[in-house]
Amino acid sequence: MLNFSLKDKVTIITGASRGIGEAIATVFAENGAKCILVSRKQDSISKIAEKIKENGYFADAIACHIGYPEQIKELYSKIKHKYKRLDILVNNAATNPHFGGILDADQGVWDKIMDVNVKGPFFMTKYGVKLMLESGKGSVLNISSVNAEKPGLMQGVYSISKASLVSMTKVFAKELAPFNIRVNALLPGLTDTKFSKAIINNKEICDFVIKQIPMGRYAKPFEMVGAALYFVSDAASYTTGSCLCCDGGFLL
């Protein structure tokens, strides 16, 4: 029997207050994980954690701005104190405050995107892996984007950040493989969340993008979860440094 169970696995999901992160947290909890939901806003993650608990599964919620390494250290000290271990980390939170040409991206835009989308996952992984090393096993999943492979129109700096995350996935995967810690990446295509409203709510841009998707539609957040579950579970025990697109054929 393939083992997709996440029973009792202590699991952090960043950006779990809505969208793809909420979907991952919900299904991982249903599969037995002890999910710790992270985002900047305590209220938002507590609400999702309550929903998961009402359905009879485990969830906790700890606020952290992943752009600040000091907050990440505090997050891990709380987790170490309460749970003593970390089995799975999903680096899902990201931001894109700039929808426009690359030459119009100023330093503030660059810093914000790089802080949250690159520095955040880097320090979440660096400090999280310390806990995984103590138990001799672990799994990290980075949520990148198809933009890592094919830059999105008007999303230049964001595309650069997501390509960095693919590189980061491979660097950590190679260095951590001898320690039984696997690191993989999922590259979603256009998915119906708050994040993608700038595209989905603009009929002209949305039609232009949909024309490039062989399946002829965008995804729902839950359509990203099967691949995420595979990567972090023991079913993927020989898979590391791998990047999988879930994009309705967009990159074909």
Ligand X SMILES: NC(=O)c1ccc[n+]([C@@H]2O[C@H](COP(=O)([O-])OP(=O)(O)OC[C@H]3O[C@@H](n4cnc5c(N)ncnc54)[C@H](OP(=O)(O)O)[C@@H]3O)[C@@H](O)[C@H]2O)c1
One residue of 143, 168, 225, 229 binding ligand X per CB under 6 A: 143
In DSSP terms, which residues pair with 188 in a beta bridge?
A: 246
One residue of 53, 130, 194, 220 binding ligand X per CB under 6 A: 194
Any contact of residue 15 with ligand X (CB under 6 A)? yes
Any contact of residue 193 with ligand X (CB under 6 A)? yes
Q: How far apart are CA 112 and CA 195, in angstroms?
A: 15
Which token pair is 217? 């539609």
User: Per residue in 90-124, is it b (16+ CB within 10 Å) or e — as a string?
Assistant: bbbbbbbebeeeeeebeeebeebbbbbbbbbbbbb
* Active-site residue flag, 83: no
- Pick the stretch among 25-33, 39-47, 129-137, 208-216 that binds ligand X (CB under 6 A): 39-47
DSSP 32: T
Q: How far apart are CA 36 and CA 86, in angstroms?
A: 10
Helix (H, G, I), strand (E, B) or coil at 147: helix
Q: Which is nearer to ligand X, 93 or 168 (CB)?
A: 93
Cβ(75)–Cβ(128) below 8 Å:
no
One residue of 36, 116, 124, 245 binding ligand X per CB under 6 A: 116
Catalytic residue among 57, 127, 158, 218: 158
One residue of 190, 209, 225, 246 binding ligand X per CB under 6 A: 190
Closest contact distance (angstroms) between CB of 136 and ligand X is 28
Q: Which is nearer to ligand X, 30 or 192 (CB)?
A: 192
One residue of 195, 225, 231, 232 binding ligand X per CB under 6 A: 195
In DSSP terms, which residues pair with 91 in a beta bridge?
A: 142
Cβ(67)–Cβ(94) below 8 Å:
no
Catalytic residues: 158
Q: Which positions lie near ligand X, rule CB under 6 A?
A: 14-21, 39-41, 44, 65-67, 92-95, 116, 143, 145, 188, 190-191, 193-196
